[in-house]
Chain A
Amino acid sequence: MLELAIGIILGCCALGAGAAMIAGIGPGIGEGNAVAAACEAIGRQPESKGDVTSTMLMGCAVAETTGLYALVIAILLIFVAPRMLVNILMEAVGK
């Protein structure tokens, strides 16, 4: 029974990590759209290339942080959470 509980904990952590990484798709799409719009803007006003690139770089970096949050959650779910949850379980059953 204990092995089953540990297996469920490990499985749920892995599933959670996988689900968290779905958030990694969003920034890619967002950055793609931002760059596409910037291409259009630079095409219309080539003299503003420096300003547009600078602003877009910052925007892309901010958008990318969302993916990083997901990455950190996934890493914590794989490397930190299982040990912590199994310890809690062991303490609860008194082993």
Chain B
Amino acid sequence: MQNLLNKLKSVDATVKKESLYIASVTGILSLLLQAVFLIARHWDYTVLLGNILGAVTAAGNFFLMGITVQKAVAKEKKPAADLMKFSQTARLLMQLVVAVLGFALPCFNGYAVIIPLFFPRIAIMIRPFIK
């Protein structure tokens, strides 16, 4: 636990700030998604669980990308590019597993898992308006 806390402390301030922003917007958009499902009368506990899984994956994916970028910029050009390619492939696989779980397991609503994966993109899109 102490080890994990020390590792979190070593995360770059920029990465922390951007990850916090992405996580906040993902949380807000998740609430909106829940509201849309409620209004459409399709809401049940699977939507909530799926939304939580998708949102945590989306925010976690961005944070992991931030850590990779932080490590990559300390390296030379070629190893940095290789690290980033490897990281992207691993994170895409992680998202694939999450999406498959979302559709395969009955306790998750597949669409509620998939949609939050795009929330970081929306967060970046609306960033100029928030600033």
Contacts of B59-91 to chain A: CB distance below 8 A: 61-62, 65-66, 69-70, 72-73, 75-78, 80-85, 88-89, 91
The interface residues of chain A lying within 8 Å CB-to-CB of B12 are 53
- Bound: A28/B83 CA distance, A: 10
- Chain B residue with Cβ nearest A57: B18
The interface residues of chain B lying within 8 Å CB-to-CB of A67 are 88, 92
Instruction: Give the size of the chain A interface in residues (CB under 8 angstroms).
Output: 36
Given A38-B73, A39-B73, A57–B88 Cβ distance below 8 Å?
no
- Chain A residue with Cβ nearest B121: A65
Interface class of chain B by DSSP: helix
Instruction: Give the size of the chain B interface in residues (CB under 8 angstroms).
Output: 43
A61 touches B117 (CB 8 A): no
- Chain B residue with Cβ nearest A40: B77
The interface residues of chain A lying within 8 Å CB-to-CB of B96 are 71, 74-75
The interface residues of chain B lying within 8 Å CB-to-CB of A31 are 84-85, 88
Whole-angstrom distance from the CB of B26 to the nearest CB of chain A?
A: 12
Given A31-B85, A32-B81, A75–B99 Cβ distance below 8 Å?
yes
Within the complex, which residue of B13, B14, B76, B114 is in contact with A57, where a contact is CB–CB below 8 Å?
A: B14
The interface residues of chain B lying within 8 Å CB-to-CB of A89 are none
